[in-house]
Amino acid sequence: PRGERGASNNPLYPDAPSPLKEYSVVFHDRTLNHMSEPFKKAMLDMDAMLCEVYNAETAVIIPGSGSYAMEAVARQFATGKKAMSLRNGYFSWRWTDIFETCDIPYKAVVAQAGCVDKQPGCGTSRCPCGSKAQYAPMPIDDLEEYIHKEKPDVFFAPHVETSTGILLPDEYIKRAAAAVHANG
């Protein structure tokens, strides 16, 4: 049986104990065919829950990966508009990639996170101290000023940027939203 010494499917380490299946089998076990009855039931249940929670007549659920959802949102809200994204790391860089690859907004601007050390080049390969210090989102006062200058129609920001560990505080999000509404 799997999980006992010598039962591994790994050809490099055949004696390694492992209860895990190969990737293709694991992936297959965890997905549902989108035409299957269990998948349809799950989608209908989620639709009903969303309508109840948000007191809505209907809901739109778009199944797919995170990037798929991001592209759908970008196409819905940024097509032909000026879009600003708050780039706090690699995940939020994906907004720029989607904008450029799909030619969605007429113009895209980026509010870039910065190194907390504030020395020129710090936090990058050009870091003079070599520490590559932690990043922080653009200071909110600077972001408000940048939003006022650029006047984006839409604004994209990650609440949690997993690649850098940045979590935007509620107050930061409120002030950014207020600035966009006041200037966009």
Per-residue pLDDT of the chain (184 residues; tens, 9 = 90+): 344 444 545 555 555 555 555 545 545 555 667 778 888 898 899 999 999 999 999 988 877 777 888 898 999 999 999 999 999 988 888 999 999 999 999 999 999 887 776 666 665 666 666 656 677 889 999 999 999 999 999 999 988 888 888 889 999 999 999 999 998 6
Please indicate, yes or no, if residue 5 is contained in any of the structural domains. no
Listing DSSP states for 21-37 in one string gives PPHHHHHHHH---TTSH
Please indicate, yes or no, if residue 149 is contained in any of the structural domains. yes
What integer pLDDT is reported at residue 2 of this predicted model? 40
Cα torsion 44, 50, 53, 58: sign:
negative
- Same-domain status, 48 and 101: no
- Same-domain status, 124 and 141: yes
- Same-domain status, 72 and 146: yes
What integer pLDDT is reported at residue 121 of this predicted model? 60
Q: Which domain holds residue 35?
A: 18-61
- Same-domain status, 144 and 79: yes
41 token code pair? 């039931």
